[in-house]
Amino acid sequence: MKSLWNDQEALKCGNDPLKLRVYTSRLLGKEASLVLHGGGNTSVKAQVKDFFGDVQDVLYIKGSGWDLATIEAAGFAAVKLSLLKKMAALKTLSDTDMVREQRSAMLDPNAPNPSVEAILHAIIPFKFVDHSHSDAVVAITNTPNGRKRIEEVYGKRVLIIPYVMPGFVLARKIFEMTQGLDWENCAGIVLLNHGLFTFGDDAKTSYENHIRLVTQAESYIKKQGIVIATAKKAKEDLLGLSQLRGAVSRVQGVAVVAHLKNDGASLGFANLPKVAKLATRGTLTPDHVIRTKPIPVVLSSSSISLMVQDYAINYKEYFKRNANEKLTCLDLAPRWAVWPGHGLVSFGPSIKEALISSDIIDHTIEAIQRAEGMGGWKVLSEKDIFEMEYWELEQAKLAKAGRFMGLQGKIALVTGAFSGIGRACVESLVAQGAHVAAVDINPLITTQFKSQQVRGFVCDVSDSKAIQIVVDAAVRAFGGLDIVVSNAGIFTPSENIVSMNEATWEKSMALNLTSHQRLMKAAIPYLVHGIDPTVILMGSKNVPAPGPGASAYSVAKAGLTQLARVAALELGAQGVRVNVLHPNQVFDTAIWTDEVLQKRAKSYGLSVEEYKTNNILKTEITSKDVANLVCAMASKVFAKTTGAQIPIDGGNDRVI
Ligand code: ZN
């Protein structure tokens, strides 16, 4: 590992300790093999003036919820050093009390919660302290002779601490073990199965010591000549993937998205002959358990759903073995799966979370193989991992977990998604937590939506092969399919039957009818594995209230309605709901230009405003209104409705 220290950059920080702290924290954060997604923490001791102008000795410590890669000055909490040192000398202290006392010792109550390792940082008698969960250091310690190997790497230059829970117990342990320590001859502290601390009176010394110690661990591993498995040619089984994601969602009790990774390293690991034994020993560092659970589900040739259910049974047993009566069992679902022949799959309430787990897994599978090459991958005891997973601080976080959104983790596909109703549907679905494959013939669809929850796909829905390709792509992107909004269609020109162009008729049938049947045909095999799966077809007010000159459009939409009714009959037993929406003119779409509106209003002898609200409720129907109804129909509100036709037209006297 190379030092990324740059004199010019450092000079910009002047002598400001906090600026320097931000600078080298970010340098550490840049190395994924040191810290991942909020892992690790750093601090600096400084003097600041409080509100009254009195000088205070404080510890600026990384706030929880901040990531070292992107941390700013606001990400550090200033905590009174004297109070932290006082706490370090206590015999016992619950972590909940520790967090409260740390908060009460903060100079600014609006700063983030100080890291749980704040007391430990306070004990170390140097200005700057850097802490990482270095892959190399942890991999060496996760072996049967971990301690001996660390001694081989560093000699007597580091203090080695056996594993104890982070938080107060660890701080207390370090407090005891450093009484009378010759700090000047101590280059760092290695926490077995956890990570590395370095320190120094200036930012550069502490940071570069860290890099130096990590490099030594890396060279030690390199010398062992361990080969990391790699493989090519992953098998693809999208139905299996949607089955797996469906089974995990059902066990978890909420919909999740799945991210399949099948690059050389992931597939190589999944294909290892003894992967079932290697992958199920535990986590790389204990804090990963929050994201990955202690172990993944390892799939074999038996039924995917049964294997996920077995995992749940085993997880419940693990909980019972280790829990006391005060604890609440977490959900029983795995956070990742090892799928020999296919790769590794991570699950999460959003693709963002699934990718975070996936990053952690990348580092874990490499460390497993390195440790295996150094005498065997040996992690902490089940009890230690359990204690971390059910740590009072983690349970507290869980209790105040963020608001659950109605369609969180759901996977939708919307056609005609570039503009109008389709676009509004994508936006509303995403706002409610769903992930969406946005399909349109307009090539700009691939860049239309900026959210990580949307993937744009170009497709001409009159081409059945192209439809199958995008449906498969949606499943590949998010792991399954729950909601299909079959919306793409066209307004054909007004022509009476006697003078109708054959092309007009054919085009309307192809786009307004046949394409919907083809989409359903491609989607149904996936939908049956979905979570409360549903198809919503965009009909028209023209079905119950046709007008002259619109036979091509009305007949196709009437056929579409009949298709939905038959589909509801065919799919009900498998739990798939199929309903039709009948919107009347939705004017905030591209086809209704001011000019068209004025012309049409005039032909009815109405003002534009009167024309737009020409319905019983005298209200205008917007794309957003239709999208909101679509979301409601995809939600539990409509869980017991199928084969229905629901108007959204402000009320129509020809229908009522
Ligand atoms: Zn740590």
- Condensed to tens digits (0 to 9), the pLDDT of residues 417-429 reads 999 999 999 999 9
Mean predicted confidence (pLDDT) in 146-166: 95
Least confident piece of the model among 397-406, 493-502, 571-580, 611-620? 397-406
Q: How far is the centre of ligand 1, averaged over its atoms, from the C-alpha of 337 (Å)?
A: 26
Q: How far is the centre of ligand 1, averaged over its atoms, from the C-alpha of 194 (Å)?
A: 6
- What's phi and psi for 46, nearest 5 deg? -155, 170
Q: For 285-322, what is each residue's pLDDT tens digit?
A: 988 998 999 999 999 988 999 999 999 999 999 999 99
Q: What pTM was estimated for this model as a whole?
A: 0.94
| Assigned token pair, 402 | 């963020």
E strand or H helix at 189: strand 188-191
Residues 140, 220: contact at Cβ < 8 Å? Answer: yes
Least confident piece of the model among 255-259, 403-407, 652-656? 403-407
- Distance between CA atoms of residues 406 and 254, nearest Å: 10
Q: Reduced to 3 states, what is the DSSP secondary structure of residue 475?
A: helix
Q: How far is the centre of ligand 1, averaged over its atoms, from the C-alpha of 143 (Å)?
A: 19
Q: How far is the centre of ligand 1, averaged over its atoms, from the C-alpha of 365 (Å)?
A: 20
pLDDT score for 320: 96
Q: How far is the centre of ligand 1, averaged over its atoms, from the C-alpha of 519 (Å)?
A: 50
Q: Would you say residue 397 has pLDDT above 80? A: no
Q: Would you say residue 399 has pLDDT above 70? A: no
pLDDT score for 592: 82
Q: How far is the centre of ligand 1, averaged over its atoms, from the C-alpha of 411 (Å)?
A: 35
Residues with CB under 5 A from ligand 1 (ion): 195
Strands 483-486, 411-415: parallel, antiparallel or unpaired by DSSP? parallel
| Assigned token pair, 570 | 């065919």
Q: How far is the centre of ligand 1, averaged over its atoms, from the C-alpha of 190 (Å)?
A: 11
pLDDT score for 147: 96
Q: How far is the centre of ligand 1, averaged over its atoms, from the C-alpha of 195 (Å)?
A: 6
Least confident piece of the model among 91-105, 240-254, 523-537? 91-105
- What's phi and psi for 556, nearest 5 deg? -60, -45
Q: Can you list the alpha helix ranges (DSSP code H) found in 445-580?
A: 445-448, 464-478, 502-509, 515-527, 551-571
Percent of the chain with pLDDT over 70: 99
pLDDT score for 39: 86
| Assigned token pair, 552 | 């091509």
Q: Which residues pair with 129 in a beta bridge?
A: 43, 199
DSSP 606-648: --HHHHHT-STT-----HHHHHHHHHHHHSGGGTT--S-EEEE
pLDDT score for 398: 61
pLDDT score for 653: 92
For the chain, the distance separating the N- and C-terminal CA atoms, rounded to the nearest angstrom, is 74
Q: Reduced to 3 states, what is the DSSP secondary structure of residue 74?
A: helix
Burial class (CB in 10 A: 0-12, 13-18, 19+), 377: buried
One of 207, 315, 390, 553 is an active-site residue; which one? 553
Q: How far is the centre of ligand 1, averaged over its atoms, from the C-alpha of 133 (Å)?
A: 6
Q: How far is the centre of ligand 1, averaged over its atoms, from the C-alpha of 123 (Å)?
A: 15
Task: Give the CA distances from residue 151 to residues 163, 188, 333, 376, 378, in Å, rounded to whole numbers and listed in that order.
Answer: 16, 12, 39, 18, 18
- Distance between CA atoms of residues 239 and 217, nearest Å: 43
Q: How far is the centre of ligand 1, averaged over its atoms, from the C-alpha of 196 (Å)?
A: 8
Q: How far is the centre of ligand 1, averaged over its atoms, from the C-alpha of 115 (Å)?
A: 9
- Distance between CA atoms of residues 45 and 347, nearest Å: 40
* Torsion sign (Cα): 538, 543, 548, 552: positive
Count the residues in the chain. Answer: 656
Q: For residue 401, what pLDDT band results from cuts at 50, 70 and 90?
A: low
Q: How far is the centre of ligand 1, averaged over its atoms, from the C-alpha of 502 (Å)?
A: 72
- Distance between CA atoms of residues 556 and 468, nearest Å: 22
Beta-sheet strand order (sheet of 297-298): 257-261, 343-348, 336-339, 297-298
Q: Reduced to 3 states, what is the DSSP secondary structure of residue 167?
A: coil
DSSP assigned state of 405: P
Q: How far is the centre of ligand 1, averaged over its atoms, from the C-alpha of 387 (Å)?
A: 15
- Distance between CA atoms of residues 352 and 58, nearest Å: 35
| Assigned token pair, 595 | 């000019």
Q: Would you say residue 637 has pLDDT above 90? A: yes
Q: Rounded mean pLDDT of the chain?
A: 94
311 has catalytic annotation: no
Q: For residue 47, what pLDDT band results from cuts at 50, 70 and 90?
A: very high
